[in-house]
Amino acid sequence: MTTNVKKQEEPGSMTPSPTATPTRAPHQDVPTGHKPDAGRVGGGLFDPKQLVTSFPDAIRKLDPRVMIKSPVMFVVLVGSVLTTVFAVMNPSDWFGWAITAWLWLTTIFANLAEAVAEGRGKAQADTLRKAKTDTVARRLGKDGRTEERVPGTDLRIGDLVVCEAGDIIPGDGDVVEGVASVDESAITGESAPVIRESGGDRSAVTGGTKVLSDRIVIKITTKPGETFIDRMISLVEGAARQKTPNEIALNILLASLTIVFLLAVVTLQPFATYADAPQSMIVLVALLVCLIPTTIGALLSAIGIAGMDRLVQRNVLAMSGRAVEAAGDVSTLLLDKTGTITLGNRQAAEFVPVKGVTAAELADAAQLSSLADETPEGRSIVVLAKEKYGLRERHQGELSNATWVPFTAQTRMSGVDLVEDGTGRKVRKGATASVISWVKEQGGEVAGDADTLANGISAAGGTPLLVAAEDDKGARVLGVIHLKDVVKDGMRERFEELRRMGIRTVMITGDNPLTAKAIAEEAGVDDFLAEATPEDKMALIKREQAGGKLVAMTGDGTNDAPALAQADVGVAMNTGTSAAKEAGNMVDLDSNPTKLIEIVEIGKQLLITRGALTTFSIANDVAKYFAIIPAMFAVVYPGLDKLNIMQLSSPESAILSAVIFNALIIIALVPLALKGVRYRPTSADRMLRRNLGIYGLGGLVAPFIGIKIIDLVISLIPGLR
């Protein structure tokens, strides 16, 4: 899978780029300032104290205008009102009052599940509000020189503002002039400052962050009230959460089941009257509430909110619930090679000398030629020479008579000229053709195996750098430095997990096909796209989607924006441009490209949790049927007593036990709804069998046990037997 040839970086091009100054290594999976498992802890544990603190919110949600959004629980609310009326009409009926009390508790417990899920985001929202301060902006006039101080809320899209050391950035935008160090800890939790500069993929800044050094000019790209922090606050509070397509579909299914059971219960009374066993309204309401899928109806919203919360805990901002849900259905992952699959910088892996030269001699020359090379590649050469060959690390200051030769695009070489006791020594390293040409210009001869060694490293997917020297032995090639794009530890295992999940991985790189193939085989990806252009990425996404697959990808540059917009799940890096962040439907605040794999796992966990609890809820209804129906008609139809498998003590106790269990199971499942069902990479059919075995069978067995225990407790209470 290759595309039109894109011009590659020459092997010897090792000059530092102004944009290549990230505050942390691109391969760092856990950002500085974060606890490695902070997101998982926050997103998974359940504190019972939250039930108490969220109780007032649960009461407020009894408003019918709120309850009607969940048809199942709205029916329970109406049933609670009806039983209250009938209980008031017959105040001496303990059974009516007991049923009424537990129906109200069922409704409150359902609201409590949602209130707890929403309450988990309030602490995060409070933290974000502290970062959102009222700032005064230094807006530039039309002449681009004069400044006027205006409130940050008066800024409009396109305004230019100046920020210097100590200033709070007044709004989201892009740096159009200058470079500065910015403290983004209020947004990302990252304690180390980051570099923001004009003209690159690290130009985006966020309102509420602080400039630590230098001066920058920012072009505002968002309206007041629509900034990044505003959107995060809305997200974590649940105000911006819209129901996803799958959630809407499940709501429709639950509403349909509710209507079916409602009709069944309504038509039951005429048959009961005909059989000379009329049932009270309280019993009919209890039957309806126990048969409709109240468990999943109560927890459905909490599951969705908790899924979004798990993303926020991992510093990912999802623009919509649809994106989270789509992540769970993704079947193709497009991953950048650099910084995602590999460490992001080529590292010196080996010194390969030509015949007649020792490895130690080559290592000494390679280290010497790299002392002034501040690129990661150059630093790795110095380190390899020190660690593998015991060479002490020298410094430029020690060589007072040295003339350093910087890398240029014309020469494609770098090195040093030394003057020692009147004799000169020159060392060069760089692209194969350039170094060979230099040796010939100095009147030297090139070893016959130099070109062979370089070609062998290229064929293996590495980058060869030739090292040559001119001394009293003349000009000659000493050997080759093998630069290797190092694959991150554990990537092969993670890709194997994705394969078990049924997800195909595609590595995207600008490298030539030979290098791309070597990295792809080492990393264990399923396919690769070499010499990729923005058009190639778009074409690949469209081909995958045309086959009915959902595609996820990451990106940070303006050139990634079209592909991010086309992908079903587009994760933009927070360090990237505003165009990339606007095009994607998720933003990773930590700018860690490997987090895409975690996002997919969270999406799958959301879908699995919803499916598991739906299975449990529907299976529950079967057991409650065996508790209530025999209790209602066993007197008239003695044969129905055979269905009284649990041998419940009385009809009233059976119905009341089922209603109590129906309420308690909701509160018992709140931790599972918030934490999510544990996800294990496996095939869909095995996952289905596992969930049916655990939650289907568990949903059948648990009510029999629970209702029987409650019945035994009720039968021991004086006056209720």
Amino acid, res. 491: M
* Rounded Cα gap, residues 84 and 284, in angstroms: 14
The H or E element that residue 405 is part of is: strand 403-405
* Rounded Cα gap, residues 576 and 52, in angstroms: 42
Q: Are 243 and 321 in contact (CB under 8 A)?
A: yes
Residue 427 sits at φ, ψ, to 5 deg, of -130, 135
* Rounded Cα gap, residues 375 and 637, in angstroms: 88
Question: Which of helix, strand or coil describes residue 714?
Answer: helix
Candidates 159, 167, 309, 336; catalytic one: 336
Q: Are 67 and 77 in contact (CB under 8 A)?
A: yes
How far is the CA of 319 from the CAs of 83, 582, 608, in angstroms?
42, 10, 21
Look up tokens 């933003």; give the residue.
Answer: 587
* Rounded Cα gap, residues 429 and 253, in angstroms: 69
Residue 172 sits at φ, ψ, to 5 deg, of -70, 140
Q: Are 664 and 107 in contact (CB under 8 A)?
A: no
Q: Are 316 and 324 in contact (CB under 8 A)?
A: no
Report the alpha-carbon angle 209-214-218, nearest 5: 55
Amino acid, res. 533: T
Residue 112, Cβ neighbours under 10 Å: how many? 26
Q: Please count the CA atoms within 13 angstroms of the CA of 476 that sit on its side-chain side.
A: 17
Residue 588 sits at φ, ψ, to 5 deg, of -90, 110
No. of helices (H) and no. of strands (E), the chain: 24, 21
DSSP state of 168: B
DSSP state of 153: G
Query: Token digits for 281?
Result: 């309204």
Question: What does R_g of the chain's alpha carbons equal in angstroms?
Answer: 34
* Rounded Cα gap, residues 250 and 423, in angstroms: 84
Helix ranges, 634-696 (H): 651-675, 684-691
* Rounded Cα gap, residues 666 and 654, in angstroms: 19
Strand partners, 161: 139, 218
Catalytic residue check, 471: no
The catalytic site residues sit at 336
